[in-house]
Chain A
């Protein structure tokens, strides 16, 4: 039994984050705040730590309904991928982002993320095949 739902989810304007099932974070809305690392980034970091502590093999972040983000928010996903990338392979979990092919920022940015750390981050378009 994981404890992801015990981690406090920050309240951010125009954004909804919920833990669905055991190992899935659903993010809906938009992120255009000035310093998302100060709340959303801290939450992602806490999730990452809990995933490692729980020895969970896979974790999914569904951003398919996250319609708009600024570049500071994109940085959050880069950071998460890099935390994982810095771990020895044996300690890593499989991090999958579920995306929408119809939202341009997701197509361009998760493709870029894959090109950077494609060995630790996986992308699964909701309306297509996994990469």
Chain B
């Protein structure tokens, strides 16, 4: 790898998984994983804008996953950062409660049915009109500020994988 070549270039155009971490759904771990992901993306892509977006997406996705994960000794979260050609993907796997899964489905459907800026402004308005409720800005923020599209896969065992995919 030359000094001007980013790590992802040396991995080739079809590079897949760059990093994968599995951990307990504890709030205290979010900061460490966020720092790891940001640093990793900075090293790999060599662009502050990409690592800053990754930091935001990791924070918001993990906050949601920690808040809404089922508890128990076998409960865990996984985060996968991967890259293919000119896109980065950040996937967070978790096992939400059935109630939270239903809310997540509904929220994603709403957010993804409109353009990112409009969805975020609507989320702002909703937060402003419900001062006692939770902010619920995270997903819309990931999409708008993070510059990614969101998708969710339910794996059949109650687990989900939320993926944020955007241009590098």
Contact = CB atoms under 8 A, between A and B. Distances in A.
Contacts of B55: 68
Nearest to A34: B27
Contact of A116 (B56, B128, B137, B141): B128
A84 to B, nearest CB: 12
A105 B145 CA distance: 7
A116 B124 contact: yes
Contacts of A17: none
Nearest to B139: A71
A72 B138 CA distance: 8
A9 interface: no
A88 to B, nearest CB: 18
Contacts of B127: 75, 78
A116 B121 contact: yes
A109 B145 CA distance: 9
A79 interface: yes
Interface in B83-103: none
Given A79-B131, A113-B124, A74 B59 contact: no
Contact of B138 (A32, A71, A82, A108): A71
Interface residues of B, number: 25
Given A71-B135, A104-B145, A112 B121 contact: yes
A108 B145 contact: yes
Contact of A70 (B60, B120, B121, B144): B60
A32 B56 contact: no
B128 A78 contact: yes
A129 interface: no
18 contacts: A34-B27, A68-B56, A70-B138, A71-B63, A71-B138, A72-B63, A74-B135, A74-B137, A75-B127, A104-B52, A104-B56, A104-B145, A108-B144, A109-B145, A112-B124, A115-B124, A116-B121, A116-B124
Interface of A: 32, 34, 68, 70-72, 74-75, 78-79, 81-82, 104-105, 108-109, 112-113, 115-117
- Pairs A-B, 5 closest by C-beta atoms: A71-B137, A75-B135, A71-B138, A108-B145, A112-B124
Interface of B: 27, 30-31, 34, 49, 52-53, 55-56, 59-60, 63, 120-121, 124-125, 127-128, 131, 135, 137-138, 141, 144-145
